[in-house]
Amino acid sequence: MNTAANQTRFSALVIDDEPQIQRLLTITLEANGYRVTTTGTGQQGLAAAAQQNHDIIILDLGLPDINGVEVLKQLREWTQIPVVVLTVHDKEAEKIEALDSGADDYITKPFNSGELLARLRSALRRADKGSQGEPDFNAGELSVNFASRTVTRKGQTIKLTVTEYTLLRLFIKHADKVLTHRHILREIWGPNHESDTHYLRVYMTRLREKLEADPTKPALFLTEPGVGYRFKA
Partner 1 sequence: MSLVSLVSLSFFRRKTSTRIENSPSQPHPAPCILPPVQDHASQNAGPLPGARRKSEITRGPFGAALPDRTVDSQPHPLLANSPRQYVLALAIFVVVTLINNIWLEQLLGYQPLALVYLFAIVVLALFINRGPLLFGTALTALGWAFTAPPRHKFYIDSLDDKMMFATYFVVALTIGQLTTRLRAQREAEIKSKFLAESERLGRTLLNSVSHELRTPIAAITGAASEMLNSGSLTPLQQKLATEIESAGLRLNRVVQSLLSAARIQSGQLHSKLDWCDISELVHLATHEVPSLNVTHRLTVDIAPGLPFVKLDFILTQQALANLLVNATTHTPPGTPIHIVARIQNKHLLLKVADHGPGLPPDQLDRIFDLFHRAPAAKPGGTGLGLAIVKGFVEAQGGWVQASNRVGGGALFTMGLPAIAAPALPAEPS
Pick the closer one to partner 1 by CB: 11 or 113.
113
Q: Decide if 90 contacts 43 (C-beta within 8 A).
A: no
- Region 203-222 residues binding partner 1, contact defined as CB under 8 A: 204-205, 216-218
Instruction: Give least dist CB 44 to partner 1, A.
Output: 19
Q: Binder to partner 1 among 1, 11, 21, 100 (CB under 8 A)?
A: 21
Q: Decide if 65 contacts 21 (C-beta within 8 A).
A: no
Q: Count Cβ atoms below 10 Å from residue 150 Cβ, excluding itself.
A: 15
33 lines the binding site for partner 1 (CB under 8 A): no
149 lines the binding site for partner 1 (CB under 8 A): no
Instruction: Give least dist CB 20 to partner 1, A.
Output: 5
Q: Binder to partner 1 among 24, 66, 170, 172 (CB under 8 A)?
A: 24
Q: Decide if 224 contacts 178 (C-beta within 8 A).
A: yes
Nearest to 56 by CA among 119, 131, 132: 119
Per-residue b or e along 184-202, where b marks 16 or more CB atoms closer than 10 Å to that residue's CB: bbebbbeeeeeeeeebbee
For binding to partner 1 (CB under 8 A), which residues are involved? 18, 20-21, 23-24, 27-28, 31, 62, 88-90, 92-93, 109-114, 116-117, 159, 161-163, 181, 197-199, 201-202, 204-205, 216-218, 223, 225-226
